Structure 1
Amino acid sequence: VVHCADGRQETFNLVVGADGAWSRTRPSVSSATPHYTGVTYVESSLDDVDDRHPGLARLIGDGSVAVYGVNRALVAQRNSGGHVKVYAQFRAPLDWHAGLDLADAEAVRSSLLKRFDGWADPVLDLLRRTTAFVHRPLYVLPVSHTWSHVPGVTLLGDAAHLMPPLGAGANLAMLEGAELAEAIATGDGDLDGAVRAFEVRMWERAGRWASITAAGLERLVSPDPAEALAVFDHVQPS
């Protein structure tokens, strides 16, 4: 039974919690809650980068640029239509912004520029040219998050296996949605059995990727910037 915000109640054969990091469905099957990794992202963006910021466009190139320092990094990633996402990444207490108004873009910018003091001007321009900032502390669920099966309820995506945003979580969520649908559609009518089998497959794969991404985050935002570069040392130019 799903209780809606407007007071309605709806009954379903299966409720799939695909509602993200702070899932309202998760407590139905698990007492686990996300915990802070010690790493914070502050997200900002650039629009029309090729026309308005040609120097930064050259720095970012056709894909992305990442610059690593001691326990911090600056990453810029192209999206579509000349839009670029910029992420300041650093290790800090969860309350690092105490006394700072996160809605005050100039105050946030000043704080970040102090944190990255001494970095090259072209890199710092990634912070100087942006217009707004969004605080995104990174939370994760336990690497091997599982639960005792509950008939009629399951989870997928971040609701089931929240992990560092290193390219796995969203792809897993899409794959799991397809796999769960296929398991139900091609099953013999045993809905509960299909969901149980799906969960076991999901847990095994998600646990493996949660471990990989947790180790990756430790190396990418590290006291030794060489650790970050070593993550990519197997990638050869084509």
Structure 2
Amino acid sequence: MESTINLLHHKEIAIVGAGPGGLTLARLLQLKGAKVKVYERDHSQEARVQGAIVDLHFDSGLKVLKAANLMDAFKASYIPGADNYRMLDQAGNMLLDEHIQKTTVGFDSEQFRPEIDRGVLRDLLIDALLPGTVVWDSQFVEMAEHNNRWSIKFKNGSIATADLVIGAEGYRSKIRSYVTDIEAVYSGATIIQGDIDNPEQDCAEMYALVNNANLIGMGIGKTIAVQPRANRGLTFYAASLYPENWVSTSGIDFGNADDVYNYLIKYYRGWNPLFFTLFKACKQFIPRPLDYFPLDQKWETKRNLTLIGDAAHLMPPSGEGVNTAMLDALDLSICLTNGEYADLPTAMSAFEQQMLARATTLGAEALDGIQDFAAPTQESIRKLLKLLSQDYD
């Protein structure tokens, strides 16, 4: 507690964004006695579906949950078996089925990557916070600094003040513009996301094929990935390489489910029609161009303002996003409370150097892998099969 008093005593901390990174940071700082509020644009905890499952890794997400004293809660909430992969070719032939592989991998293994529903993870983290920590219906509009304190204005007209602000509101972060003017770059890949609330009824054969696992269908130049949700729903991602601004220039009305369906069945012509049942069952599609922040980005550290997670270092999906955001939260909490730094600017600088160095490495790996995922070749499919099978050789 002595180190907390040094830097955070009498300090009010505002975290903008109630995603895994922001909520994890709030939990870790509250364990150190800090005064924290989390401001979230959603109207309530139940306002929207949080997405599909996410796997947590031994040296990042799981490590952070252990530091936050939340491993027991996680073990009671994760989805056993959902870390298995089922891999198909475009004809629907099973290339790999980890359900039938024999493995003893568990929480004591570095190879174990247990999956949890994103909404369940969010609820778990919120439940661990002091009552009233999350302030809902707080969509950030702007902020200004006066006498080393921030005045933060929200869309609902409310105003909050804080000595320290952390932007944790994802890749569309508005806090980021107060830290740097470095903008995102397009990776070349776009995914079309769909959510199916009642797949047992609307695409029963595909639901059975997923069988509570990560299912991935790969053909030359395009991919379809499907994940379960804790509420028995499914989320799928149809991925490929597209020109920049394709979403706005394609002529597809992404607000019209029939229009998107008609596009997808043409684009995936030659695939097993079973995949098309996913498209037919989906009532709302979301196109997501996959952007990233330049790997060499740097900015001048602010004494009382920083970023974590995608707000700081957006990268293409690689399984590291949530894990890295949670690790950012742990590293920042340590820098602010371990007593090694004389003042906030020094602590913030140390954190940002560590965060950006890690993001550079992980971002390079993500960029190397995005084309293999979104536009596979025979060679990249072979490599992925080998990678997923290596634990069983």
Please say whether Structure 1 and Structure 2 have the same fold, judged by a TM-score greater than 0.5: yes
Q: 1:202 to 1:83 in 2, by over 3 A?
A: same
The 3-state SS of whatever aligns with 1:36 is strand
Tell me which residue corresponds to 1:46: 196
The separation in 2 between residues aligned to 1:145 and 1:232, in whole angstroms, is 34
Length, aligned pairs only: 238
2:279 corresponds to 1:127: yes
In structure 2, the partner of 1:114 is 266
What is the percent sequence identity of the aligned residues?
A: 27
Deviates more, 1:23-32 or 1:161-170: 23-32
Residue identity opposite 2:246 in structure 1: D
Q: Is the 8 A contact 1:29 1:150 kept in 2?
A: yes
- Residue from 153, 163, 168 that aligns with 1:4: 153
In the TM superposition, residue 8 of structure 1 has moved relative to its aligned partner by 6.7
Distance in 2 of aligned mates of 1:109 and 1:51: 18
Deviation larger for 23-32 or 204-213 = 23-32
Opposite residue 213 of structure 2, the aligned amino acid is G
3-state SS of paired residue (2:194) = strand
Q: Give, as a single letter, the amino acid of the residue that structure 2 aligns with 1:143.
A: L
Q: Determine the C-alpha separation between the residues in 2 that align with 1:225 and 1:112.
A: 22
Deviates more, 1:21-30 or 1:92-101: 92-101
SS in 2 for 1:144: coil
Q: Distance in 2 between matches of 1:145 and 1:229?
A: 34
SS of corresponding position for 2:387: coil
Q: CA deviation at 1:70?
A: 2.8
Q: Distance in 1 between matches of 2:159 and 2:282?
A: 45
Alignment of 1:123-202 (within 5 A): 123-187=275-339, 190-202=343-355
| Distance 1:227-1:170 versus aligned 2 partners, 3 A rule | same
Q: C-alpha displacement at 1:5, in angstroms?
A: 4.0
Q: Partners in 1 of 2:385 and 2:366 — Cα distance?
A: 14
- Range moving further from structure 2, 210-219 or 46-55: 46-55
Match of 2:163 in 1: 13
> Which residue does 1:25 correspond to in 2?
175
Corresponding position of 1:226: 379
Deviates more, 1:97-106 or 1:221-230: 221-230
Equivalence for 1:36:
186
For 1:160, the aligned partner's letter is A
Change (3 A) 1:218 1:52: closer
Alpha-carbon distance between aligned partners in 1 of 2:254 and 2:237, rounded to the nearest angstrom: 15
Which residue type is aligned with residue 206 of structure 2? Answer: L
Alignment-mate amino acid for residue 240 of structure 2: F
- Residue 11 of structure 1: CA displacement? 4.9
> Is the contact made by 2:170 and 2:309 (CA closer than 8 Å) also made in structure 1?
yes
- What is the SS of the residue equivalent to 1:131? coil
Deviations 1:113-140 (A, max 9, x none): 1111111111222222222211111111
| Corresponding residue SS for 2:388 | coil
Stretches of structure 1 that go unaligned for 5 or more consecutive residues are: none
CA distance in 2, matches of 1:130, 1:49: 9
- Structure 2: stretches of 5+ with no match in the other structure: 1-144, 146-150
Q: TM-score, normalised by structure 2?
A: 0.56
Are the aligned partners of 2:221 and 2:241 in contact in 1 as well (CA < 8 Å)? yes
Matched, 1:214 2:367: yes
- What code does the residue aligned with 2:366 have? T
Alpha carbons 1:70, 1:221 under 8 Å: kept: no
Distance, in Å, in 2 between the alignment partners of 1:17 and 1:77 is 29
Residue 172 (structure 1) shift: 0.8
Matched residue of 2:297: which SS?
Answer: coil
Partners of 1:23 and 1:184 in 2: CA distance: 22
Measured in 1, the distance between the counterparts of 2:220 and 2:185 equals 23
Paired position in structure 1 for 2:240: 90
Paired position in structure 1 for 2:218: 68
Deviation digits for residues 29-72 of structure 1 (CA, Å, limit 9, x no counterpart): 32211122221111112223345533112321221211122321
Which range is displaced more, 194-203 or 87-96?
87-96
In the TM superposition, residue 89 of structure 1 has moved relative to its aligned partner by 0.7
Q: Amino acid of the residue matched to residue 86 of structure 1?
A: F
Residue identity in the other structure for 2:383: A
Residue identity matched to 1:209: L
SS at match of 2:215: strand
Secondary structure of the equivalent of 2:323? helix
Could you tell me whether the CA contact under 8 Å between 2:257 and 2:285 is conserved in 1?
yes
Q: Distance in 1 between matches of 2:210 and 2:323?
A: 24
